[in-house]
Amino acid sequence: MEGPKTRGEIRVATNQSPPLVGHNVVTSDAALVEAVIRHASAEVVDDLAPLGAEAGTAEAREQGILANENHPTLRSYDRYGNRVDEVAFHPSWHWLMERAVGHGLAAAPWESESPYAHVRRAAGFLAWSHTEPGHGCPISMTYAAVPALRVDEAVAKEWVPLLASTSYDPGLRPVAEKRGALAGMGMTEKQGGSDVRANVTVARPTSVDGEYTLHGHKWFTSAPMNDVFLVLAQAEGRPENEALSCFVVPRVLPDGTRNQLDVVRLKDKLGNRSNASSELEFDGTLAHRLGDEGRGVRTIIEMVNATRLDCVLGSAGLMRRAVSEAAWHAAHRSAFGGLLADKPLMQNVVADLAVESEAATALAVRLAAAVDDLTDPHEAALRRIALPLAKFWVCKRTPAMVAEALECLGGNGYVEESVMPLLYREAPLNSVWEGSGNVNALDVLRALAREPAALEAWISEVGLARGADPRLDRAVDDSLALLGDEATLEQSARRLAGRMAACLQGSLLVRFAPPEVADAFCASRLGSSYDGTFGMLAGSDLAAIAARTTPAR
Ligand SMILES: Cc1cc2nc3c(=O)[nH]c(=O)nc-3n(C[C@H](O)[C@H](O)[C@H](O)COP(=O)(O)OP(=O)(O)OC[C@H]3O[C@@H](n4cnc5c(N)ncnc54)[C@H](O)[C@@H]3O)c2cc1C
C-alpha cells in the first residue's frame, strides 16, 4: 500500500464514517413506524415525519451538543442585591424546548380529540429525544402533571390549557400573561427520596380555604424556572401518618411578585447536563392544596406514573439513537479488508443491540397506547403492572446497551464529538429517578398483592402470543412459578420484574416483529442462550436484523 507523500495527503482523513445526519429519525426507524401503525395509524406516522426530519438535521444535533456543553447557571441576586433565584439556559436549550413544545410533546395530548394522541406524542418524544435527552425532563413533567392536576377541577382549568399549549413561552411572569406554561415536581428531600413519607417540609394553613405556606426544603427539583410545581409536604396539625399532602406551587404569584422559593444551588451531575436540577428552600412559599390532606402520595402518583412512561420512552430513544450510530458506523468503516457491517461478529453485536432497541420500542409504544384508552379496565390494569415492569427493565438495560453501542465506534466512540459519551452519561438516569430500580421492582410486588386485575392483565396480554414460541411459553410459566414462593418474593423482586417485562416484550415481538427479530429475542432473553453481554446471538439471520436497524438517508 502506498503511503501519503505530501502534507495535503497526510492531512486527508480516510475511512471515517460520515456524520449520521440528514435522515428522518421517525421514518427510518422500522420498529417505531410499525408500532405506531399498530397502535395508531399510518396517518400518525405521516404527521410525525416533519418532527423526524428535523430531529435528524445537523442543526438539531449541533444544538443538542451545545446545550450540554453550556450548562445552565444560577443567578441568586441581581446587580442591586435583590434576591432573584433565576437560572439562565443557553440559547440551544431554548431552541430545543421551543421545538419540543411546538411539536406537541408536552401536555398537548390531554386536550386532543385524537384517539391516538398519546401514541403520537410518545413516538414523537422517543424520536425527538435523539436530539438531546436533558430537555426531555421539563417536557415530561409538563406532560405528567395533568392527570394529577385534574383531581381539582378549578386548578385544572387554570393550568391544563397552558401546559397543553404548543407555544413555548419561557420567563418568570404571571401565568395569566403567558401563552404556554411548564410544570415540575418536588418530592425528594435530603433525608429520603424513595421514602417520601419521611418528608419534613411543613404546610401551614392560611386564613384562605385551601391555601397554605410551605416551610422546608427539596433536595432535587429539576427545571426550577418552570411555572408551576407539584410539591409534597406534611399538613400541619394532622396525625403523622395522615399528613402528607400534595400542593400546587406557582413560581410567580398572580400579582406578578415572585413566590418565595430559594434556589440554593444547582447539582453538578454525571449527565443530563443541559438541564438544571436544583436544591430549594421554602419559607412562607404560597401553595394551593391539590386533593385532600393526607392523600399526597395518592395524588402525586398520577404524575409519577406518567413520568415513568417517559422514562421508558426516553430510554428507548437513547437505545435507538445509540444503535443507529453503531450500525451507521459499521456500514461506513472498513477494517481487515471489508466493511465492519459485513463482518459476522460485528453483525452479531449490532443485531443484538437492535433486538434490545426493538423490544424497548415495542413495549414503550404499547404502554402509550394504554394511556389512549383511559376508560378500558384491561388497559388500566395493564398500566398498573406494565409501567413499573417496563420502568425497571428497559431503563436497567440501557447503560449496558449504550456502552456496547459506543464500542462499535471504536476509539471515536469514546470521544465527545461522536455524541456517544453524552448518551452514555445519560443512560443510567432513567433508572435512578421516578422510583429507582428496586423501588419499581417492589412496586410490581405491591400491584400483584393488592390488585388481582393487574396480574390478570399481564397474563392475558402475554397470553395473546401463547403457543407461538415455546421459549416464551416457558418463560411465562417460570414467572408465574416465581410468584408462588412468598418467603423469597421481596428478595427476588428484580428477577421477577425482569422476567415479566421480558415476557411482555417477547409477546409483542413474537406477534408483530419480523420472525428473525422475535427468534433472536426469545433465544437470548427468554431461552437459555443468554451469556451476559451483547453479541452472543446464535442461529438467527443476524445480517437481516442489523440491516433493518441501519438508518437510510
Ligand atoms: C438528575 C436528577 C434529577 C432529579 N429531579 C428530581 C425532581 O425534579 N423532583 C424530585 O422530586 N426528585 C428528583 N430527583 C430525585 C430522584 O427522584 C431520587 O434521587 C430518587 O427517587 C431516589 O431517591 P433517593 O435519592 O432519596 O435515594 P434513596 O431513596 O435513599 O434510595 C437509595 C437506593 O436504595 C434503594 N431502595 C430504596 N428503598 C428500598 C427498599 N425498600 N428496598 C430495597 N432497596 C431500596 C433505591 O432503589 C436506591 O437504589 C432527581 C434525581 C436526579 C438524579
Q: For residue 283, which phi and psi values (nearest 5 degrees)? A: -150, 80
Q: How far is the CA of 390 from the centre of ligand 1 (A)?
A: 17
Alpha helices in 333-376 (DSSP H): 344-372
Q: How far is the CA of 298 from the centre of ligand 1 (A)?
A: 18
Residue type, 144: A
**Under 8 Å CB-to-CB from 481, ≥6 apart: which residues?**
none
The answer to whether the CB of 183 is under 6 A from ligand 1 is: no
- State whether residue 289 is helix, strand or coil: strand
The answer to whether the CB of 437 is under 6 A from ligand 1 is: yes
DSSP 186-245: E--BTTBSS-GGG---EEEE-SSTTEEEEEEEEEEEE-TTSSEEEEEEEETTS-GGG-EE
Cell of 410: 471504536
Please state, for a pLDDT cut of 90, what percent of the chain lies above it.
95
Bridge partners of 213, per DSSP, are: 204, 286
For ligand 1, atom 43, which residue shows the shortest CA distance?
Answer: 438
Residue type, 414: Y
Q: How many degrees, rounded to 5, is the angle at CA 533 between CA 531 and CA 534?
A: 115
For ligand 1, atom 27, which residue shows the shortest CA distance?
Answer: 193
- CB-based contact 341:23 (threshold 8 Å): no
For ligand 1, atom 20, which residue shows the shortest CA distance?
Answer: 433
Cell of 110: 390531554
- CB-based contact 164:111 (threshold 8 Å): yes
The span from the CA of 552 to the CA of 327, in Å, is: 10
Residue type, 197: R
Burial of 197 from C-beta contacts in 10 A (0-12 / 13-18 / 19+): middle
Nearest to 314 by CA among 455, 483, 143: 143
For ligand 1, atom 48, which residue shows the shortest CA distance?
Answer: 436
DSSP 8-class letter at 412: G
Cell of 199: 418528608
Q: How far is the CA of 79 from the centre of ligand 1 (A)?
A: 36
The answer to whether the CB of 439 is under 6 A from ligand 1 is: yes
The span from the CA of 386 to the CA of 497, in Å, is: 9
- CB-based contact 101:165 (threshold 8 Å): yes
The span from the CA of 224 to the CA of 103, in Å, is: 23
Model pLDDT, residue 3: 81
- CB-based contact 246:300 (threshold 8 Å): yes
Q: For residue 77, which phi and psi values (nearest 5 degrees)? A: -125, 150
Nearest to 535 by CA among 336, 400, 410, 360: 400
The span from the CA of 116 to the CA of 421, in Å, is: 35
- CB-based contact 230:247 (threshold 8 Å): yes
The packing angle between helices 117-128 and 296-332, to 10°, is 50
Ligand 1 nearest-atom number relative to CA 187: 11
The span from the CA of 550 to the CA of 351, in Å, is: 10
The span from the CA of 254 to the CA of 262, in Å, is: 19
- State whether residue 169 is helix, strand or coil: coil
Q: For residue 452, which phi and psi values (nearest 5 degrees)? A: -55, -30
- Measure CA 28 to chain center: 21
Q: How far is the CA of 193 from the centre of ligand 1 (A)?
A: 5
17, 104, 284 from 138: Cα distances, Å: 34, 13, 25
The packing angle between helices 136-149 and 296-332, to 10°, is 150
The answer to whether the CB of 433 is under 6 A from ligand 1 is: yes
The span from the CA of 49 to the CA of 57, in Å, is: 13
The span from the CA of 420 to the CA of 405, in Å, is: 8
Q: Which H or E run includes 402? A: helix 377-408
The span from the CA of 285 to the CA of 406, in Å, is: 45
Per-position pLDDT tens, the chain of length 553: 678 889 998 999 999 999 999 999 999 999 999 999 999 999 999 999 999 999 999 999 999 999 999 999 999 999 999 999 999 999 999 999 999 999 999 999 999 999 999 999 999 999 999 999 999 999 999 999 999 999 999 999 999 999 999 999 999 999 999 999 999 999 999 999 999 999 999 999 999 999 999 999 999 999 999 999 999 999 999 998 999 999 999 999 999 999 999 999 999 999 999 999 999 999 999 999 999 999 999 999 999 999 999 999 999 999 999 999 999 999 999 999 999 999 999 999 999 999 999 999 999 999 999 999 999 999 999 999 999 999 999 999 999 999 999 999 999 999 999 999 999 999 999 999 999 999 999 999 999 999 999 999 999 999 999 999 999 999 999 999 998 888 889 999 999 999 999 999 999 999 999 999 999 999 999 987 667 899 999 977 999 999 999 998 6
Cell of 411: 476509539
The span from the CA of 352 to the CA of 526, in Å, is: 14
Residues 13-61: tens digit of each pLDDT: 999 999 999 999 999 999 999 999 999 999 999 999 999 999 999 999 9
The span from the CA of 285 to the CA of 287, in Å, is: 6
The answer to whether the CB of 271 is under 6 A from ligand 1 is: no
Pairing of strands 244-250, 277-290: antiparallel
343 Ramachandran zone, left/alpha/beta (phi>0; psi -120 to 50):
beta
Please identify which residue in the block is written with the cell numbers 416457558: 474
Model pLDDT, residue 485: 81
- State whether residue 251 is helix, strand or coil: coil
Nearest to 50 by CA among 31, 25, 33, 21: 25
Bridge partners of 285, per DSSP, are: 214
For ligand 1, atom 16, which residue shows the shortest CA distance?
Answer: 433
Cell of 449: 398483592
Ligand 1 nearest-atom number relative to CA 272: 1
- CB-based contact 33:112 (threshold 8 Å): no
Model pLDDT, residue 532: 81
The answer to whether the CB of 191 is under 6 A from ligand 1 is: no
The answer to whether the CB of 266 is under 6 A from ligand 1 is: no
Model pLDDT, residue 1: 64
Q: How far is the CA of 433 from the centre of ligand 1 (A)?
A: 6
Nearest to 164 by CA among 137, 185, 142: 142
The answer to whether the CB of 260 is under 6 A from ligand 1 is: no
Cell of 361: 420500542
The span from the CA of 98 to the CA of 47, in Å, is: 18
Model pLDDT, residue 529: 65
The span from the CA of 343 to the CA of 340, in Å, is: 5
- State whether residue 159 is helix, strand or coil: helix
